[in-house]
């Protein structure tokens, strides 16, 4: 028995769900919402899209304040407070998202305080994680999609990896303590992996000539 190799059980890898995320976001409201779109739906669209485009945890997004935003033109960033008191600054490089965020701030009239506020407690306090999770599940049901709130972060990380962003850059964006955790998200799409292999083979063939 001592000579038999130990069987290692592979870790369960998070599956990318970009298409599913897009379906749920579309159910909430459009990126170009109508004027009559209720503020709470606009808030929800911006909240969940913030988690998606920043690769942030839903709890981190619920805790954001207007003061965490830096919306200087062409250099927009958000400061995210993560686990263990860590703070990271994330680039907001999606122009459509930035436009929607600014529209939300204008509609809500927020210049300070919690960015995403509860609409039923009468105090304007931060929307709780439990409330956000419940609303996400409601929108998922409307979109006929089964996806938990956390894979918003998974999908973003996988998209970055497939776009050629380094593991270290993705690690910093997601706020991981080590690249080992980030590598769980590094699931290359089959087509992307095939393209890399073909490119490597062509380089090898050219060198052999």
What is 5-53 written as a DSSP string? Answer: PPPPPPPPPPPP-HHHHHHHHHHH--SS--TTS-HHHHHHHHHHHHHHH
User: H-type helices in the chain, by residue range?
Assistant: 18-28, 39-54, 58-62, 95-108, 129-143, 151-162, 167-174, 179-182, 190-208
Q: Exactly one of 32, 83, 134, 202 is catalytic; name it.
A: 83
The pLDDT score that the predictor gives to residue 200 is 66
Q: Each residue of 10-52: pLDDT tens digit?
A: 455 455 467 888 999 999 999 999 999 999 999 999 999 999 9
- Residue pair 14/148 in contact by the 8 Å Cβ criterion: no
- Residue pair 48/57 in contact by the 8 Å Cβ criterion: no
pLDDT(187) > 60:
no
153 is catalytic: yes
Residue with tokens 């996400």: 136
191 is catalytic: no
Q: Exactly one of 45, 57, 171, 173 is catalytic; name it.
A: 57
Q: Exactly one of 31, 88, 150, 172 is catalytic; name it.
A: 150
Positive or negative, the CA dihedral 169, 175, 178, 179 is negative
95 is catalytic: no
> Given pLDDT bands bounded at 50, 70 and 90, which one contains residue 153?
confident
Q: Exactly one of 45, 154, 173, 176 is catalytic; name it.
A: 176
57 is catalytic: yes
The pLDDT score that the predictor gives to residue 152 is 82
Q: Each residue of 72-122: pLDDT tens digit?
A: 998 999 999 988 788 888 889 899 999 999 999 999 999 999 999 997 654
Beta carbons within 8 Å of 192's beta carbon, 6+ residues apart: 162
Farthest CA pair distance, the chain: 74
Q: Each residue of 108-130: pLDDT tens digit?
A: 999 999 999 997 654 678 999 99
The pLDDT score that the predictor gives to residue 104 is 96
Beta carbons within 8 Å of 59's beta carbon, 6+ residues apart: 129
Strand pairing category for 77-81 and 87-91: antiparallel
The pLDDT score that the predictor gives to residue 4 is 45
Q: Exactly one of 43, 135, 153, 173 is catalytic; name it.
A: 153
Q: How far apart are CA 199 and CA 113, in angstroms?
A: 50
């Amino acid at each position: 028995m001592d000579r038999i190799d130990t069987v290692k059980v592979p870790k369960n890898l998070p599956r990318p769900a970009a298409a599913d995320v897009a379906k749920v976001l579309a159910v909430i409201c459009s990126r170009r919402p109508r004027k009559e779109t209720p503020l709470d739906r606009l808030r929800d669209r911006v909240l969940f899209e913030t988690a998606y485009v920043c690769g942030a945890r839903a709890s981190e997004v619920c805790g954001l304040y207007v003061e965490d935003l830096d919306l200087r033109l062409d250099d927009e960033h958000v400061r995210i407070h993560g686990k263990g008191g860590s703070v990271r600054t994330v680039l907001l490089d999606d122009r459509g998202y930035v436009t929607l965020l600014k529209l939300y701030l204008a509609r809500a009239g927020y210049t300070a305080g919690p960015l995403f506020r509860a609409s039923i407690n009468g105090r304007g306090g931060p929307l709780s994680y439990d409330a956000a999770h419940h609303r996400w599940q409601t929108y998922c049901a409307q979109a006929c999609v089964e996806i938990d709130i956390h894979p918003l972060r998974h999908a973003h990380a996988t998209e970055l990896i497939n776009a050629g962003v380094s593991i270290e850059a993705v690690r910093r964006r997601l706020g991981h303590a080590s690249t080992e955790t980030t590598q769980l998200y590094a699931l290359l799409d089959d087509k992307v992996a095939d393209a890399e292999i073909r490119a490597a083979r062509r380089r090898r063939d050219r060198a052999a000539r």
